[in-house]
Structure 1
Amino acid sequence: MITQIVTLVGVLLGALTSFVATGWAERTKHRRVMAARWDERKLDTYVQYATCVKEIDSVAKRARQAEAGSTERAEFLATMEQVEIQRSALFETLVLLASPGAVEAAKAVNVALWESEVAAREHTGASNGPVLVELLNAYHSQARLDLGVGDPVVGA
């Protein structure tokens, strides 16, 4: 009778150990899958935001260069406004997904971009292109840091 109890306890202990180990492995796997999914979403958001910023800056530059009162200038300004709406929505997604450092870098990009948009609307020749490029580089660095990607090899 004692041997049967010892055997039964051994079987129960083995089943419990197996259950706990399997549960732990499944939770770990689930966490890895979710982290990969969120990293993909973050990467997409980082890229889409930067793309919108560059598009707005490019269209704003063309609007500043276009003749005042021309149809071409009006089209550039309308395009700039449409892409600005997209950038704004992407920034909200960025705030929800990104690291605090990346969000702060994106905020600095926003300020420089808004200055470029104002110059385009007011039709002044002012451009802050080099400043925007520096701020985008800082944004990219923060995004890479958040995604766990090292700095790219310079000159490659």
Structure 2
Amino acid sequence: MTSQIWTLTGVLIGALTSYFSVMLTERSKHRREMAIRWDQRKLDTYIEYAACVKEVADFARRSHRVEEGSRAHGELVAAMEASERRRSAQFEGLVLLAAPPVIEAAHEVNLTVRQMLERVRGHEPPRESYGFTGRLNAYHERVREDLGIRTRSWPVI
């Protein structure tokens, strides 16, 4: 009888050990899958935001090259305003998903884009530089840091 108890105890310990190891492995696998999913969502959000920002800036720059009051100018300004609304919506998603340094860098980009827009809306001539490229590069750097992408081997453009 005693040998049967030891055998049953050994089987029970083996079953519990197997159960807990499978449970821990599955939990770890689930966490990795969730991290990958959220990183992909963050990357998509970061890219969409940057694309909207560049689109708004491009429309703002182009609007200064056409005659003010012309049909082409009106179309560019309307397209710029539509892009600006999308940029604003994209920024809200970014705020929900991003790390604080990314949000701060995006705020700086937003300030620069707003300066560009205000000059277009006020029919003022464009400035030589708004600092847009530098701030967008800083945003890209913060995004890479947030996603854990090493940047030392990459040249800064």
TM-score (norm. length: structure 2): 0.94
RMSD over aligned CA atoms reads 1.5
Overall identity of the aligned pairs, in %: 47
Q: In the TM superposition, what whole-angstrom CA distance separates every residue of 1:7-66 from its partner, at most 9, and x where no partner exists? A: 111111111111111110001000101101111111111111111111100101111222
The letter for the 2-side match of 1:83 is: S
**2:154 paired with 1:153:** yes
**2:25 paired with 1:21:** no
Cα displacement (A) at 1:127:
3.0
Match of 1:47 in 2: 47
Aligned mates of 1:102, 1:130 — CA distance in 2: 20
Change (3 A) 1:150 1:22: same
Aligned mates of 2:139, 2:126 — CA distance in 1: 23
Spell out the pairing of 1:118-129 with structure 2 (5 A cutoff).
118-127=118-127, 129=129
Match of 2:112 in 1: 112
Q: Which is richer in helix?
A: 1
Cα displacement (A) at 1:155:
7.4
Change (3 A) 1:64 1:45: same
- Return 5+ residue gaps in structure 2 as ranges: none
Match of 1:5 in 2: 5
What secondary structure, in the 3-state scheme, does the structure 1 residue paired with 2:111 have?
Answer: helix
TM-score (norm. length: structure 1): 0.95
**2:70 paired with 1:59:** no
The letter for the 2-side match of 1:79 is: A
- Count residues in correspondence: 156
